[in-house]
Amino acid sequence: MRCGTPANDMDVVQNALDGESVVAEVGLSGENALYVTPTRTLYFRADGLLSDESVESYPHDAERMNVSEGRRKATVTLDYGTDGERTFSVPTGSIDSVVHPVLAGVLAANGVTGPGETITRTERFSELTLVITTERLVKHVGNTTWDLDYEEIPYSEVRGLDVEEGAVAAQLVIETARRVQRVKVPAESAREVHEYLQEALFDFHGVDTYREFERAAAADDPDSDVESEGEGSAASAASAFDSPGIDPIDTSGVAEDEPRDPGAPDVDTESPPDESASDTGPDPASADPTPREPEPEPESEGPDREELLERIEELEELLARQEDLLAKQRAVLGELVGDVQESEQ
């Protein structure tokens, strides 16, 4: 409990707690405060000119949580499905401190996080919410802050972590045992999010460096099915971590037959031996132009693939810029709507 809370106010809160422990407390304006327990959030409102002190309870078993922000007030909405919605407002300056423990309670109540699992960081970017816990990364994309349509990446499945920086938007590159996932975040926040996520990965595996993490992650993945990704990606992830400009994603798509194409043995096998056998002594000299004919084919394939990869990267960068611009426009529109609603009130 806060030291500045009067004794009679503490009695009101203690009665509302009914024996539950407080895991987080957020001070709001004046004597108002939020008390977060494992199962619910209690909103204490002190005596005012127009109202008496009161305590409202908001259970954490909500199917959806949404946050809308205005210039002075922010509103948290908890959607309980068929049981309706509950909302409460807090000062906008306190919303980040409020969302973190309340969302942690909602995730725990819905079984997203397990016993003993702690949420270390909550990041909200327009239509993206990232929750970094001690055991997993929870990602939600959409108009709401969180709902049941979410994704999670357990740290036990992560094999590599990198960040690709851009002028407007950046991408977290998370390589798992099954695939590579890219999470777009604002460029100014990419490094910070990357460091928090990397620290959580290190703590999960009990290591201090990225190379130690690679070894620990490889030890957790003995399956041979992932060797085509793991062998190429382990080295590329290490170099990508040291040099963010390197892209470690294409390693899973590289076939083992590719380096053999330009080699001499393939050219010899493709050149028909009957022609050299049918021709007599002077033909070894004429045999030189015959193997040169199939060589342009693999050489032409190489530049074509590089050009395609460059075009794909250019399109991805253009798409990222468009999505970031769209997100900014939606944010401005949301602020305008909020201003209009506040002016009407």
Q: Are 135 and 147 in contact (CB under 8 A)?
A: no
Average pLDDT over residues 86-92: 94
Q: Name the region of 206 (left: φ>0; alpha: ψ -120 to 50; beta: rest).
A: left
Q: In sequence order, which residues have a C-beta less than 8 Å from that of residue 10 and are 6 or more positions away?
A: 1
Q: In sequence order, which residues have a C-beta less than 8 Å from that of residue 195 and are 6 or more positions away?
A: none
**Percent of the chain, pLDDT > 90?**
49
pLDDT of 112 above 90: yes
Stretch among 31-45, 197-211, 318-332 having the lowest mean pLDDT: 318-332
More confident residue, 96 or 4: 96
Q: Kindly report the CATH class assigned to 1-111.
A: mainly beta
pLDDT of 247 above 60: no
Average pLDDT over residues 19-39: 92
Q: Are 232 and 251 in contact (CB under 8 A)?
A: yes
Query: Could you report the per-residue pLDDT of 136-185, keeping only the tens digit for each?
Result: 999 999 989 999 999 999 999 999 999 998 878 899 999 998 899 999 99
Domains 1-111 and 126-254 in one fold: yes
pLDDT of 260 above 80: no
Alpha-carbon span 145 to 61, nearest angstrom: 15
CA dihedral (323, 324, 327, 328) in degrees, to 10, reads: -140
Q: How confident is the model at residue 72 (pLDDT cuts 50, 70, 90)?
A: very high
Nearest partner of 182 among 192, 196, 169, 195, judged by Cα: 169
CATH number for the 126-254 domain, one of 1.10.287, 2.60.40, 2.30.29, 3.30.70? Answer: 2.30.29
Q: Which two tokens stand for residue 194?
A: 């990357």
Residue 339: predicted pLDDT: 74
Residue 31: predicted pLDDT: 87
pLDDT of 102 above 60: yes
pLDDT of 337 above 90: no
| Cβ-based burial of 90 (10 A; exposed 0-12, middle 13-18, buried ≥19) | buried
pLDDT of 87 above 80: yes
Annotate 106-167 with DSSP letters as a single string: HHHHTTSS-TT--EEEEEEETTEEEEEESSEEEEEESSSSEESS-EEEEGGGEEEEEEE--S
pLDDT of 40 above 90: yes
Enumerate the domain spans of the chain. Answer: 1-111, 126-254, 259-294
pLDDT of 106 above 70: yes
Mean pLDDT taken over the chain: 77
Stretch among 64-78, 169-183, 212-226, 250-264 having the lowest mean pLDDT: 250-264
Neighbouring C-beta atoms of residue 301, cutoff 10 Å: 13
